[in-house]
A = this chain, B = another copy of it.
Amino acid sequence: MQKNIAQGNLIPFVSVQQMVALIDSLGVEAFMTELAGYIEEDFKQWSLFDKSPRFASHSEVGVIELMPTSNGKAFSFKYVNGHPGNTRHGLQTVTAFGVLADVDTGYPVLLSEMTLLTALRTAATSALMAKYLAPEGADTMAMIGNGSQSEFQALAFKAMLGIRSLRLYDIEPAASRKLQRNLQDRGFDIVVCDSAQAAVEGARIITTCTADKRNATILTEQMVGSGVYINAIGGDCPGKTELDPLLLHRARVFVEYEPQTRIEGEIQQLAADFPVTEMWRVISGQADGRRAQDELLVFDGVGFAVEDFSALRYVYEKLSDNQGYDKLDMIADPDDPRDLFGMYLRLAPSRKGEAA
């Protein structure tokens, strides 16, 4: 770790409000563009990363996951849950927080909210992959599924790919109206469509990100022409997919980390030997991205721990000394490590003033 804003036992903490302020001060588009640079840098150093499967604790109503990784210098993990029924009780379906730590000392150096940060890193990852995979000159994106991730996707593709025209479709018209309203002063030309078929007309980039928790077919093989790039990020857990298998068979498919995507991604519908390309190979120049303008390419994105690592690393670097974060008294700091009890005695309210 190059920087040290952590001071021994006091661990920097970035709250939701502080994350909002950090994003606001940098600008949403600049934040995601810079973050994409960090993700790109980490994907270029793919072999350094400890790529563990995520740890998942399942119950009847949801899942709690820990997603750890390390590049040998820093260690990170994200805590994230998924509870589809939570909205019935006024709670969020997904909440997340994460920790960055220094491998050399084992000390945590950052605790951060990650609900917002995950939305930003997901969109930054999508736009980064599109830089390598989208057809040249595409300026129109169809967005099928206009939920909580959609504004971030639109802004990342605007900032990094030059997308100016959006064609929206959601099974709930209110979601499209919400997206249109939230983006109204961001310089987009927005058309709300009444079907997925209508939305993809003339769009050379298609983002699918619906909330449907089953094997759905948002895009059929017939709906998509050649020379298109599909940013498929809504199929991200077992039993949840969005694309027609025939469409995948016609395309070249790109993934983050193959063992995880085989389980969680669109390709869970296909044979285990269906060929895919890991994006770190494209980003580091070891495999082709787009070979011709008329190819159909698919990024089957599920979200990987390295992206969370990059995001925490980016936020950590952006914090200025004593600004934009709190400090948590989270790590006991006895003067003599063999004398933890002595520390307790010195700090105990009932003992204050006594010689320990």
CB pair B113 A86 closer than 8 Å: no
* Chain A 57-75 per-residue mask, 1 if CB under 8 angstroms from chain B, else 0: 1010111101010101001
CB pair A151 B57 closer than 8 Å: no
Min distance, Cβ A95 to any Cβ of chain B, angstroms: 5
CA distance A15 to B337 in the complex (A): 18
The reply on A92 being an interface residue by CB < 8 A is yes
CB pair A182 B341 closer than 8 Å: yes
CB pair A62 B15 closer than 8 Å: no
Contact of A81 among B107, B334, B341 (CB under 8 A): B107
CB pair A59 B20 closer than 8 Å: no
The complex is assembled from copies of this chain, and their number is: 2
CB pair B332 A113 closer than 8 Å: yes
CA distance A185 to B92 in the complex (A): 51
CB pair B68 A86 closer than 8 Å: no
Residue on B nearest A150 in the bound complex, by CB:
B341
Contact of A339 among B81, B182, B356 (CB under 8 A): B182
Q: List 26 A-B contacts (CB under 8 A).
A: A8-B91, A15-B329, A15-B330, A20-B347, A24-B350, A25-B350, A59-B70, A64-B75, A64-B103, A66-B66, A79-B108, A81-B107, A86-B337, A92-B337, A95-B106, A113-B330, A113-B331, A119-B340, A119-B341, A148-B338, A175-B338, A178-B338, A178-B339, A178-B342, A182-B342, A182-B356
Known: A15-B329, A20-B344, A77-B79. 16 other contacts (CB 8 A): A16-B330, A16-B347, A23-B348, A28-B344, A50-B57, A57-B103, A63-B106, A83-B105, A91-B107, A97-B108, A113-B330, A115-B340, A148-B341, A175-B338, A182-B342, A182-B345
